[in-house]
Amino acid sequence: MFIYSGFVVDHTFQSHSCGDVLNNEPHVAEEDILEEEKAASLAELFRAMGDTNRIRIIGLLLDHELCVHDIAVLLGMSQSAVSHQMKSLRQMRLVKSRKEGRHVYYTLDDDHVRQVFQIGLEHVECG
């Protein structure tokens, strides 16, 4: 035992060394390694959510079904800018739309989008 910055540390604790002593391989099960295709899809999802305007739009759609005009007014954006963002969000399956007359209304695609947003927001708010 020794004291480090006021804390008593048990030096007999075996830390996980880098690489296995016998065959120099890390101890990670193959199923714990994220497949390349899934990693690319997840990166694309985070890229889509990596835009301030798209995040604000998703925030509005958490509890509301809104048309482009309403989103534009609420966020102080042009309708064409909102339409452009909605196209990206639709392509990534983050929002879905329904047409009613001349208007297109948007909602979140499914509850997964809501959960990802809310968990991310919670992480930011907890600092």
Q: What is the pLDDT of residues 15-66, one digit of tens each?
A: 555 555 556 666 788 888 999 999 999 999 999 999 999 999 999 999 999 9
Q: What is the pLDDT of residues 82-124, one digit of tens each?
A: 999 999 999 999 999 999 999 999 999 999 999 999 999 999 9
**DSSP category for residue 74:** H
Task: State which H helix or E strand residue 16 sits in.
Answer: none
- CA torsion 100-104-110-116 (nearest 10°) is -150
Kindly report the pTM of this predicted structure: 0.76
| Whole-number pLDDT of residue 63 | 95
| Whole-number pLDDT of residue 4 | 47
CA distances, 1 to each of 12, 14, 15, 50, 81 (Å) = 8, 13, 15, 47, 62
DSSP string, 27-64: ---GGGSPPHHHHHHHHHHHHHT-SHHHHHHHHHHTS-
| Whole-number pLDDT of residue 19 | 56
67: left (phi over 0), alpha (psi -120 to 50) or beta: beta
Domains recognised in the chain with CATH numbers? 34-126 (1.10.10.10)
Q: What gap in Å lies between CA 109 and CA 114, rounded to an integer?
A: 9
| Whole-number pLDDT of residue 31 | 85
Comparison of pLDDT for 27 and 79, the residue scoring more: 79
| Whole-number pLDDT of residue 13 | 47
What one-letter code names the amino acid at 95?
V
